[in-house]
Amino acid sequence: DIQMTQSPSTLSASVGDRVTITCRASQSISSWLAWYQQKPGKAPKLLIYDASSLESGVPSRFSGSGSGTEFTLTISSLQPDDFATYHCQQYNSYLFTFGPGTKVDIK
Amino acid sequence: EVQLLESGGGLVQPGGSLRLSCAASGFTFSRYAMTWVRQAPGKGLEWVSGLSGSGVSTYHADSVKGRFTISRDNSKNTLYLQMYSLRVDDTAVYYCAKLKNGGDYGSDVFDIWGQGTMVTVSS
């Protein structure tokens, strides 16, 4: 199975900060990488797919990049609604796997 | 509005069984592959099972293979997860989700999620 890691596990930031989260795959997954946002007690929400494509309705301050084994999610200017946990997911294999998550909290 | 609504969670003893349901609305259910994803308390997301729009092709994670069965009734717009031989480590919130693109089950993302149903396995 393809293993996914994320760093950092927790990130403390302030409103207006530029935030970057990294996701790594144990083998090449081309661009088959998605990012989800999850708030406490809620279901995940799709933000980015195909490594860099923005899901409809998602603010443009979110962006994704990378290919192969290393990927990043960037929030250009952190907003109050963005404090949440972010998960990456590979879908190169139908045995989908997720990263452990990165919690973005208030500094 | 596209919506998924899970039900059927609850408290069950180790070794017991439970069937989860996921009622879909707002889209042509039979055209889309579906999946179950779970999240243990305080943990990350784990893909559990998936199946094609027709229901003919099914897939399960190794952790549940032989114990869980995914199925669907397209006439009722409902997805199911039958769980047998439940273990304490199956305790989690179970989400159903829709794959974004129509067609067979495959490399795709999950664009619509239900609110989740809690399954607790404990004596």
What digits encode the pLDDT tens for the residues A41-60?
Answer: 999 999 999 999 999 999 99
Local confidence band at A93 (pLDDT 50, 70, 90 cut-offs): confident
Local confidence band at B81 (pLDDT 50, 70, 90 cut-offs): very high
B95 CB within 8 Å of a chain A CB: yes
Contact criterion met (CB < 8 Å) for B109 and A42:
no
SS3 assignment for B39-100: ECCCCCEEEEEEECCCCCCEEECCCCCCCEEEEEECCCCEEEEEECCCCHHHCEEEEEEEEC
Task: Indicate the pairing of strand B110-113 with strand B45-51.
Answer: unpaired
B55 CB within 8 Å of a chain A CB: no
pLDDT at position B12: 98
B68 CB within 8 Å of a chain A CB: no
B69 touches B20 (CB < 8 A): no
Q: Is residue B15 classed exposed, middle or buried when 0-12, 13-18 and 19+ CB atoms within 10 A define those classes? A: exposed
pLDDT tens per residue, range B82-104: 999 999 999 999 999 999 997 78
Q: Report whether pLDDT(B29) > 90.
A: yes
Rounded to an integer, what distance in angstroms lies between the CA atom of residue B23 and that of residue B26? 11
Give A-chain residues touching B111 at CB under 8 angstroms: 46, 55
Mean pLDDT for chain B? 96
pLDDT tens per residue, range B39-60: 999 999 999 999 999 999 999 9
Which residue in chain A is spatially nearest to B114 when comparing CA positions? A43
Q: Percent of chain B, pLDDT > 70?
A: 100
pLDDT at position B105: 80
pLDDT at position B103: 73
Q: Report whether pLDDT(B109) > 90.
A: yes
- Provide the b/e sequence for B76-115 (b: ≥16 CB within 10 Å): ebbbbbebeebeeebbbbbbbbbbbeeeebeebbbbbbbe
- Residue A39 phi/psi, 5° resolution? -100, 155
Rounded to an integer, what distance in angstroms lies between the CA atom of residue B102 and that of residue B121? 34
Residue range A90-94: mean pLDDT, rounded: 90
pLDDT at position B104: 81
pLDDT at position A94: 83
- Residue A35 phi/psi, 5° resolution? -120, 135
A31 min Cα distance to partner chain B (Å) = 11
Nearest to B105, CA basis, from B38, B26, B37, B35: B35
